[in-house]
């Protein structure tokens, strides 16, 4: 399917792009009320490192230290008509699930299913069935339902006293930024594009103002809101500025947002999960209605992601009373060609 999350239809002739809701919304909870109890080793998180929605789950899993509790499968950044492929694995099959395409887990859950195949997806290993592709809920449940399996020193990414404010910020970020770049990129009329474009930059300007004198979006620690904004910002200059025509200015030309993004990128659990090679190849080679030549740009220069940001001068405690995560688990490191430096 020709997009990052394969929800909605970027090839549609309607003027405005519409993102379809997640089809499978069962939850994995501590009490198992949906029939899926939290259980170490039972589930597999399937992601594309190209996808911003999946990258949220990768980051939160790292920050909370859930690597031993839920295993990780990384798909090829280029999917075909049969869905996301496990061609990065030996023999072209996921070594745990034994499947060649993520669509097989969807079909195991619902025989005859012919809808979109999206990531992130959590699959029940014993049955091979998809449990959920509800990307907004997956990370929140990692934070609130999987607490018994968090590492010692795991941060509280969704602190209860701040949840109303976090939700309010995340709603605006989703509407105008996370999804807004897609509304601009997949628009089928000049009017629809211009409307989305203006909303993207109006919101980015407001976020820049908000972050001018505070290190993080809500409170003085990293929260789920920062994770959700980061996954769009880290892709902005590499793909959204040119490919999606969000080109009023680059992220690197906004001193506040650029410093904020670098601060997070240099925080363990964020930048060490980013694969720029997967990001650039996916957007430029899969979205053939936007880029029919499938040429992947060589730029931008990624070395500046490691330059000093000086955001620590604003104070704040990245992990609150917790501690940073350790290095990426063996076998989960981003390959050298995907790293910023």
Catalytic residues: 51, 182
Written as six digits, the tokens of 155 are 């941060």
Closest CA to 61 of 127, 151, 191: 151
Residues in contact with 115: Cβ distance below 8 Å, sequence separation at least 6, in sequence order = 23, 106
Q: How far, in Å, are 64, 69, 130, 235, 241 from residue 31 at the CA level? A: 20, 16, 19, 37, 44
Written as six digits, the tokens of 204 are 């980015």
Residue whose token pair is 């920050």: 63
How far is the C-alpha of 1 from the C-alpha of 11, rounded, in Å?
10
Residue whose token pair is 């955001």: 311
How far is the C-alpha of 159 from the C-alpha of 164, rounded, in Å?
10
Residue whose token pair is 């809808």: 115
Sheet strands side by side (includes 71-74): 71-74, 43-47, 121-124, 129-132
Burial class (CB in 10 A: 0-12, 13-18, 19+), 295: exposed
Residues in contact with 181: Cβ distance below 8 Å, sequence separation at least 6, in sequence order = 196, 200, 232, 236, 240, 244, 246
């Amino acid at each position: 399917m020709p997009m990052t999350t394969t929800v909605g239809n970027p090839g549609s002739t309607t003027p405005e792009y519409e993102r379809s809701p997640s089809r499978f919304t069962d939850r994995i909870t501590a009490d198992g009320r949906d029939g899926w109890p939290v259980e170490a080793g039972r589930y597999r998180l399937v992601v594309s490192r190209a996808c911003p929605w999946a990258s949220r789950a990768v980051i939160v899993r790292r920050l909370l230290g859930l690597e031993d509790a839920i295993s990780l499968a990384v798909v090829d950044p280029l999917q075909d008509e049969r869905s996301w492929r496990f061609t990065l694995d030996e023999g072209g099959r996921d070594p745990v699930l034994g499947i060649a395409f993520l669509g097989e887990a969807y079909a195991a859950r619902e025989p005859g299913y012919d809808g979109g195949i999206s990531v992130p997806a959590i699959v029940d290993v014993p049955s091979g069935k998809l449990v959920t592709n509800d990307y907004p809920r997956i990370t929140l449940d990692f934070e609130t339902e999987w607490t018994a399996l968090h590492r010692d020193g795991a941060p509280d990414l969704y602190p209860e006293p701040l949840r109303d404010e976090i939700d309010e910020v995340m709603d605006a970020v989703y509407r105008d930024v996370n999804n807004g770049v897609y509304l601009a990129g997949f628009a089928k009329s000049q009017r629809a594009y211009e409307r989305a474009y203006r909303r993207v930059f109006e919101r980015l300007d407001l976020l820049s103002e908000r972050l001018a004198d505070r290190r993080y979006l809500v409170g003085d620690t990293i929260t789920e809101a920062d994770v959700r904004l980061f996954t769009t910002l880290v892709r902005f200059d590499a793909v959204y500025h040119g490919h999606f025509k969000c080109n009023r200015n680059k992220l690197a030309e906004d001193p506040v947002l650029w410093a904020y993004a670098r601060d997070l990128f240099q925080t363990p659990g964020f930048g060490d999960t980013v694969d720029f090679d997967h990001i650039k190849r996916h957007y430029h080679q899969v979205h053939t209605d936007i880029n029919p030549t499938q040429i992947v740009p060589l730029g931008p220069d990624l070395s500046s992601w490691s330059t000093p940001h000086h955001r620590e001068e604003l104070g704040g405690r990245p992990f609150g009373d917790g501690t940073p995560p350790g290095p990426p688990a063996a076998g989960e490191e981003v390959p050298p060609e995907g790293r910023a430096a």
